[in-house]
Amino acid sequence: MEFPDDWIDPLAALAEVPRHPSISTESITSEYESSLPSVFPSPQLAQDLEGKVSRALAGYTPIRPSDDTKDVLNAFLEHLPTRGQLVLMAEIDEHAADPPKLRMLRNFLVDAILKPMKLAGGNSPMVTPSPAPQAADEIEESMATIESSSRSEQHKMRDDCMKRDDRRCVITGVVDRDCFKTLLPSARQGLHPGDLECAHIIPFALRKFNENDALETRKKATIWWALYRYFPIINPDMIQAGTINKRENGIMLYTQIHKEFGNFRVALEPLGKDDRCRCHILDDIGLMGPVVPPAVTFKQHSLGQSVPMPNPNLLRVHFIVGKILSVSGIGDSIDRALSDGKSLLYDTIAPDGSTDLGRALSLILLTDI
């Protein structure tokens, strides 16, 4: 995607997430890596833990009709990678007898992962706090090493991914309009021209921050800490704020598909062989649906042989986040809140001052989700 010089960080309104109700774990292995247990339980112990967690969540009593703590935690447990599931199960087990801590865990997962990932395309959420002593210390360490990637890299990234992906959308096969014009009429048969954009798999907005703003730096560090903790299939060597423009984190997409991909309505699930991915439509996108095939296979064009292929683990994180947003209902809640808030704030402001501006801002900043 091309970003204008006056591009504003869509996550600028994120509040700090200073704590997280985690169990005691080993120290992180690097400044930027989430703390994970050095030894994971045996299959039998893991099965016992799963049973305990299942009973704990089954016995959880919502404090109000809108309390979706059980649904959100179950959605994460169902779809996280295995090691991430074990980490979350241990945390739930630790706080099984403390419902407020379970709600704080739910809020942390929503505010540090789901809201930032969903809204990285240009909307501004608020993030509620969450408790955890050692998490705060680890995030403090990571703040010292955060680096933002160079804006100049965006254009080079787009050029490289264009060459690697043969100037085509990797999902629909739509050919870059300028490239299409250069083809002979005979070569255009069966092809469709369109505008392409370089889509970041892990959103570009997780790169941009103001290094002079300690609060902004901390909240971005917290987001990365959460991603590493619950998605151990990625690590700082693979992706971080300073390397968000790595070619492995980019794919060429038709403009309209890019919008759906960025909103986690379309996702690619790696199948583990031959660079093949299953395509998922995670939300009703109307007429866009028919152009999304059941599966795609990434192919490296000869002009881009030196450009790394998309990293399947990054694609898997994107897919899992999309699934959790969908099955938990948080994705729909975010979309409705933003739509209702903007409508209330911009379209129906009463001249007599009776418009509930506080409610409108609450919707836009997602403080009720």
Among 259, 232, 264, residue whose Cα is nearest residue 86? 232
Q: Which residue has the higher pLDDT, 119 or 284?
A: 119
Q: Which residue has the higher pLDDT, 129 or 21?
A: 21
Q: Are residues 293 and 355 in the same domain?
A: no
Q: Are residues 277 and 166 in the same domain?
A: yes
* Per-residue confidence (pLDDT) for residue 14, from 0 to 100: 56
Q: Which residue has the higher pLDDT, 159 or 341?
A: 159
Residue 198 pLDDT exceeds 80 = yes
| Domain total in the chain | 2
Q: Is residue 64 part of a domain?
A: no
Q: What percent of the chain has pLDDT over 90?
A: 53
Residue 5 pLDDT exceeds 60 = no
| Window from 49-53, 109-113, 183-187, 323-327 with minimum mean pLDDT | 183-187
Q: Is residue 298 part of a domain?
A: yes
* Per-residue confidence (pLDDT) for residue 218, from 0 to 100: 75
Q: Are residues 246 and 284 in the same domain?
A: yes
* Per-residue confidence (pLDDT) for residue 122, from 0 to 100: 37
Q: What percent of the chain has pLDDT over 70?
A: 69
Per residue in 224-255, pLDDT (tens digit) is 999 999 999 999 999 998 899 999 999 999 99
* Per-residue confidence (pLDDT) for residue 263, from 0 to 100: 92
* Per-residue confidence (pLDDT) for residue 160, from 0 to 100: 95
Q: Which residue has the higher pLDDT, 353 or 24?
A: 353
Q: Are residues 242 and 359 in the same domain?
A: no
Mean pLDDT of 129-156: 56
Q: Is residue 139 part of a domain?
A: no
Q: Is residue 188 part of a domain?
A: yes
Residue 28 pLDDT exceeds 70 = no
Q: Is residue 238 part of a domain?
A: yes
Quickly state the pLDDT bin for 358 (edges 50, 70, 90): very low
* Per-residue confidence (pLDDT) for residue 84, from 0 to 100: 95
Q: How far apart are CA 164 and CA 140, in angstroms?
A: 38
Residue 27 pLDDT exceeds 80 = no
Average pLDDT, the chain: 79
* Per-residue confidence (pLDDT) for residue 342, from 0 to 100: 58
Mean pLDDT of 306-327: 96
Quickly state the pLDDT bin for 217 (edges 50, 70, 90): confident
Q: Are residues 345 and 251 in the same domain?
A: no
Q: How far apart are CA 324 and CA 95, in angstroms?
A: 22
Q: Is residue 48 part of a domain?
A: no
Q: Are residues 202 and 247 in the same domain?
A: yes
Q: Which residues of 261-298 are buried (b: 16+ CB within 10 A; e: fewer)?
A: bbbbbbbbbbeeeeeebeebebbebeebeebbeeebeb
Q: Is residue 301 part of a domain?
A: yes
Q: How buried is residue 121: exposed, middle or buried, by Cβ count under 10 Å (0-12/13-18/19+)?
A: middle
* Per-residue confidence (pLDDT) for residue 120, from 0 to 100: 77
- Residue span of the structural domain in which 310 resides: 152-216+229-325
Q: Are residues 247 and 311 in the same domain?
A: yes
Helix (H, G, I), strand (E, B) or coil at 84: helix
Q: Which residue has the higher pLDDT, 47 or 20?
A: 47
pTM (two decimals): 0.83
* Per-residue confidence (pLDDT) for residue 13, from 0 to 100: 56
Q: Are residues 172 and 316 in the same domain?
A: yes
Q: How far apart are CA 9 and CA 250, in angstroms?
A: 19
Q: Are residues 211 and 349 in the same domain?
A: no
* Per-residue confidence (pLDDT) for residue 275, from 0 to 100: 87
Q: Is residue 171 part of a domain?
A: yes
Residue 18 pLDDT exceeds 60 = no
* Per-residue confidence (pLDDT) for residue 273, from 0 to 100: 74
Q: Are residues 264 and 349 in the same domain?
A: no
Q: How buried is residue 347: exposed, middle or buried, by Cβ count under 10 Å (0-12/13-18/19+)?
A: exposed
Quickly state the pLDDT bin for 213 (edges 50, 70, 90): low
Q: Are residues 303 and 357 in the same domain?
A: no
Q: How far apart are CA 262 and CA 171, in angstroms?
A: 14
Q: Are residues 321 and 268 in the same domain?
A: yes
Quickly state the pLDDT bin for 128 (edges 50, 70, 90): very low
Per residue in 148-166, pLDDT (tens digit) is 545 567 789 999 999 999 9
* Per-residue confidence (pLDDT) for residue 336, from 0 to 100: 84
Sheet-wide strand order for 295-297: 266-270, 276-281, 295-297
